[in-house]
Amino acid sequence: MNGIYLDYAATTPMDPEVIDVVAKAMQEDFGNASSLYKLGRASKQKVEGVRRLIAETLNAKVDDIIITSGGTESNDSAILQTVNRLKEKGNHLISTEAEHSSVYQTMRHLERQGMEVTYLAFDEEGHINFDELKAAIRPDTILVSIMAGNNEVGSLQDIQAIGDLLHERDIFFHTDTVQTYLNVPLDVEALHIDALSMSAHKIYGPKGIGFMYYRNATADYAPYVKGGNQENKKRAGTEALPLIIGMGKAIEKQYNNMAGHQAHLNEMREYFLAGAKERGIELQINGPKTSELAHVLNVYWPNHQSDQVLIKLDLRDAYLSAGSACTAGSLEPSRVLVSMYGEDSPRVAQSLRISFGEPTTTEEIDQILDIFESIK
């Protein structure tokens, strides 16, 4: 990789072993997994092998895993299909002001369709107020969608407490786990999660592939993409077998090295913060002061406009971000930072997101801090 890349929350480079299995599948596993002859059956077996692996990582039932194009489709379809199924029971949804756009914009769409949505705020460490969640629940609340881990500030919500509460109230619980999956252990039974999403390109897998977990999918999930009978009649379209196999390899590697991966990410985070302090670079953490999602660190750099800093970094082949990749190029302020600090806070326009990955080295961090020093 040319340059210094510290934007792993936006996307990760494909692992070389993943690239190898994808290339091999493109050459050898071209059979349509819906075909009845031997070549198709072999492809189908590989799809189901990945599905079983995913289920194992979540303590989920195999039939509740639906392979999708990624996090956006999973979030969008899980919410829309649940609302469509339960709308006779109620008209009220709960989410947060700081969700990923694939959840937030879906909620706004549903508001235009006549649903009522309560948006919970984040506090200055990026967490919801649990008492506010309890107070927001109404007799007609049918779904709560709260992300497990925030993609901009790295905060983790108390998914156990949220899941327990909603399970007691018999309210459907959806959570965006695109940043959390295989960075934090997830057990859908213990946590009472009813639906979650994942995108393979966040864990060194291919882009354009991911999955959704949906509790009791066989009975409760109606197809969002209609057509053929693929994905156990839950999502039409010929299976993208090379991408699915690549996702499986990425999951396998990450699942088997969760502890080591997290240790490395925490080491890189602490090295960056210590190095900045030693050099007199006055950064303040936005969000949790101690590591929660280890790979995401959002910092306020007073008197440094984030867009100008990013341009200067780009000219030096150094790549960070000022927020979610899905809002890149937008002049709108980060909804996450606005929720946490208010729209008039200087943090909204003077903050950077540094996100670490498996390939990150101390040498890269020293180089990025050298550049920070040169522009401070």
81 near 219, Cβ under 8 Å?
Answer: no
Amino acid at 47: V
Q: What is the torsional sign of CA 54, 55, 58, 63?
A: positive
172-176 and 92-96 strand pairing: unpaired
- CA 247, distance to chain mean position in Å, is 15
Among left, alpha and beta (phi > 0; psi -120 to 50; other), residue 328 is beta
Gap between the Cα atoms of 354 and 361, Å rounded: 13
Backbone dihedral angles phi then psi of residue 317, each to the nearest 5 degrees? 60, 45
Backbone dihedral angles phi then psi of residue 175, each to the nearest 5 degrees? -140, 135
C-alpha radius of gyration, the chain, whole number: 21
Gap between the Cα atoms of 49 and 182, Å rounded: 18
Q: What is the torsional sign of CA 40, 41, 42, 48?
A: positive
Structure tokens at 233: 């009649």
Amino acid at 150: N
Active site residue 326: yes
Choosing from 326, 349, 369, 371, the catalytic residue is: 326
DSSP 97-147: TT--HHHHHHHHHHHHTT-EEEEEPP-TTS---HHHHHHH--TTEEEEE--
Catalytic positions: 326
